[in-house]
Amino acid sequence: MDLVDMIVDIPGEIIELIFKNLKDMDDAQSQNDMEMDDDRCSEEEEEDEEDTDTEDDEDEVGEGSVDEDQAEGQRELSTRNSLLSCALSCKIFSKVALGFIWHTVTGWGPLLKLIPGCQIVRFAYSLEGELNDASLERFDFYARMVKKFILQDQEWEERFTRKAGIRVKDSVYRHLSLARPRPFPSLTSFECFYERLPRAMMLCVSPHLLEAAFVTSQSSNFTSRTEIRHYLDAVKQEAPLFRKLEISSDRRVLSLASLIHLDVDRFIESIALEYSVDETFLAWSHLTHLEVLKLNEPDLLPKHLGLINTVEPSDFPKRLKALEISVQRDTVINVFRLLELCQYSPVESFQLTGRDLHREYNKIFTAVASGWSESLTSLSITTVLIQDAFEIDSASPISDFLNPLYSLRELRILRLWSLGEVFYVRDKDIRNVCNAWPNLAELVLDADPVSGSESSQRSPTTASFHILAQHCPMLNNLRIPFHKSVPSSSVALPSSTVISLPHNLERLQLAVRGKLTKAHTSRLARHLDLAFPNLKSVVVGHNASESSKAIMKLLKSSQIARRRQVETAK
């Protein structure tokens, strides 16, 4: 019976609860056989709880009291326990739950443990006996549920997890490939992380495969290896729905020309390189389906720069949606050449990390705005500036920095990192940002709060909160500098009726100097509650500051009081 048929008669609200609470339980590395060991499931729940608590602590620091967070965590755990018990006691629920648990599997361990005679001997999986339909019955049952398989070789696992990896003997792969050459009939996604190409990658092909990703740090050119060629040949023959190939490398190892020779350009959508290499640099312009390009310190020789001028517009990439570049001042010329090559693509996301490029940003931004004024929705700039090279007197308002970008019409995300004290932010600058991009969902202006006699002219005030609330109604995440001693530039607190609908900003980070007094905290919380009544996280200064906790406590009290008023009015 198909899984869809089995859940037809289950009440919708129950399915919703199962989906919500079992969604994160797909780590098959630790949850590999629910029926085989109920006690193990309980242990896995505890691990999930610890992971969830850790993530909550990192993401929501300063949000309310620790007791409230712990109580919420206990309620979530109780709900999860109830649903898991229901899944274990009911055949229909069990299959639904197992479908989530086995959706994503990392490594062969969870599956090999299901095969009789497969055991770990001296940190390696070995197999005793032959594989047949009987011995593979339980393996097949769970392998059919796997939609995403993540394969890491032993060297990669030991390097990045710092744990002793358990390898799989070649004889195990050999027997498995003979008995089940395609063990994952429902596989849609395959990810491979390796130092050396694993032999088992040929097992990870299915008629439903949609995407594959290869990440390597090896020193040889992996795209010319026989294993990759064989895998891609199998994909072309057996996976008609395949549409996305991602290739990443953190060394100068990737030959783009070899990708062209593999005739896989029809589904290459993402490439990440530490360096662009020799004469094959221009080859990526012929990858007609390329959508994501990441280059770290692209090193274009003069002959390549000349070649760019000979490329016909018809040969320029047309589908690139995301471009990420990291450069230094002496290679900034490459940024302009890359922007020129990408001008005919509808780039939606541009990320630039530049070291000591302060004198070049105006030209770069002008090129970005002229090329992608109708398509760019996300802009992230990290200015790795050498502070000693600047005097504070030379600081400029952020509006001067952003001026060439105001013609971008569709911007939704603006992140400016590590501005330091080279650029400062005022209420006027915040208003300029709002007027230029009223549909912003995220705004990061990572500048240091100004100190000294000029702080009143070079720091945002509480008026900026109300400007943002009124003119950027879709804003969800905000980070700006703020100085506690700067009085609000507004004469009086705005009326609560100024904003027609409550603003939905959830996360706010304020960069401040020094500690906030109780009076500062109370006043700041009052303004925040008026401007952003639905705040879930406020961080003032560093994450664990007492000011953050105090402000969130005041905000939560106001939010609870409003909810009670609404309930009473009903």
Q: Where are the domains of the chain?
A: 3-101, 103-242, 348-570
Look at residue 48 and tell me whether its pLDDT is greater than 70. Answer: no
Q: What's the confidence (pLDDT) of residue 288? A: 66
- Beta-carbon contacts of residue 515 (< 8 Å; ≥ 6 apart): 541, 545, 546, 547
CB atoms within 10 A of CB 321: 17
Between the alpha carbon of residue 492 and those of residues 461, 462, 469, 486, the distances in Å are 13, 11, 16, 15
**DSSP letter (8 states) at residue 458:** S
What is the CATH topology of the domain spanning 348-570?
Answer: 3.80.10
Pairing of strands 349-355, 423-424: unpaired
Residue corresponding to tokens 């008629």: 207
Q: Check residue 526 and give its pLDDT.
A: 92
* 3-state SS class at 436: helix
What's the pLDDT score for residue 46? 42
Place of tokens 């664990």: 544
CA distance 128 to 503: 64
- Give the Cα separation of 416 and 397 in Å (integer): 13
Structure confidence by residue, pLDDT tens digits, 292-311: 877 766 555 444 555 555 56
* 3-state DSSP assignment of residue 177: helix
Structure tokens at 54: 């850790």
Do 448 and 417 touch, CB atoms closer than 8 A?
no
The rounded distance, in Å, linking the Cα atoms of 542 and 427 is 23
On the question of pLDDT at 281 being above 60, the answer is no
Please report the pLDDT score of residue 131 as a whole number.
92
Residue pointed to by tokens 């006027």: 428
Sheet holding 167-168, edge to edge: 118-120, 124-127, 167-168
∠309-311-315 over CA atoms, to 5°?
150
What is the percentage of the chain residues whose pLDDT exceeds 90?
A: 32
Q: What band does 79 get if pLDDT is binned at 50, 70 and 90?
A: low
What pLDDT sits at residue 23? Answer: 41
H or E element that contains 212: strand 211-216
Please give the Cα distance from 446 to 349 (Å, whole number).
19
- 96-122 pLDDT, tens digit per residue, is 777 777 889 998 999 999 999 898 888
Q: What is the pLDDT of residue 53?
A: 41
| Band of residue 429 on the pLDDT scale cut at 50, 70, 90 | very high
Has residue 507 got a pLDDT over 80? yes
* CB 423, CB 396: distance < 8 Å: yes
Q: What is the mean pLDDT of residues 265-293?
A: 59
CA gap 531, 466 in Å, rounded:
5
pLDDT at 61: 32
**pLDDT for residue 417 is more than 70:** yes
Give the Cα separation of 14 and 165 in Å (integer).
39
Task: Report helix, strand or coil for 419.
Answer: strand
For the ranges 40-49, 173-182, 398-407, the lowest mean pLDDT is seen at 40-49
**DSSP assignment of 271-333:** EEESS--GGGGGGGGG-TT--EEEEES----HHHHHHHTT--GGGS-S---EEEEEEEGGGTH
pLDDT at 87: 58
pLDDT of 449-499, one tens digit each? 766 656 667 889 899 999 999 999 999 999 999 877 655 544 344 444 344
In Å, how far are 11, 53, 222 from 478, measured between CA atoms?
Answer: 39, 24, 42
3-state secondary structure of 414: strand
For residue 1, count other CB atoms closer than 10 A to its CB.
7
pLDDT in tens, 126-185: 998 889 999 999 999 999 999 999 998 767 666 665 666 688 888 999 999 999 999 999
Residues whose CB falls within 8 Å of the CB of residue 290, separated by 6 or more in sequence, listed in order: 265, 268, 269, 270, 271, 284, 317, 319, 320
Q: Looking at the predicted structure, is the pLDDT value of residue 323 above 70?
A: yes
Judge residue 192's burial from the number of C-beta atoms within 10 Å of its C-beta, 0-12 exposed, 13-18 middle, 19 or more buried: buried
Q: Please determine, for residue 514, whether its predicted confidence score (pLDDT) is greater than 70.
A: yes
Q: What pLDDT does 398 receive? A: 93
Contact 126, 133 (CB under 8 A): no
* pTM listed for this prediction: 0.69
170/178 Cα distance (integer angstroms)? 12
pLDDT number for residue 299 = 54
pLDDT at 448: 79
Q: Name the token pair of 174.
A: 């050999």
Confidence of residue 209 (pLDDT cuts 50, 70, 90): very high
- What is the spatial distance between Cα 300 and Cα 283, in angstroms, rounded to a whole number? 13
- Provide CB contacts within 8 A for 255, sequence distance 6+: 221, 223, 224, 277, 280
pLDDT value at position 50? 40
Q: What is the mean pLDDT of the chain?
A: 74
pLDDT in tens, 210-267: 998 888 765 444 544 567 778 888 998 999 888 887 777 655 434 454 454 455 555 5
- pLDDT exceeds cutoff 90 at 380: yes
CA distances from 199 to 153, 239, 469 (A): 9, 20, 56
Q: What is the pLDDT of residue 301?
A: 44
pLDDT of 309: 58
Q: How far is the first Cα of the chain from the last one, in angstroms, to the nearest whole number? A: 47
- Residue 160 confidence (pLDDT): 60
Residue with structure tokens 């693509």? 345
Residue 156 CB-density burial (10 A; 0-12 exposed, 13-18 middle, 19+ buried):
buried
What confidence category does residue 439 fall into, taking pLDDT thresholds of 50, 70 and 90?
Answer: very high
pLDDT in the model for residue 253: 39
Length of the chain: 570
Confidence band for 542, pLDDT divided at 50, 70 and 90: low
- The pLDDT, as a whole number, for residue 36 is 41
**Residue 44 or 360, more confident:** 360
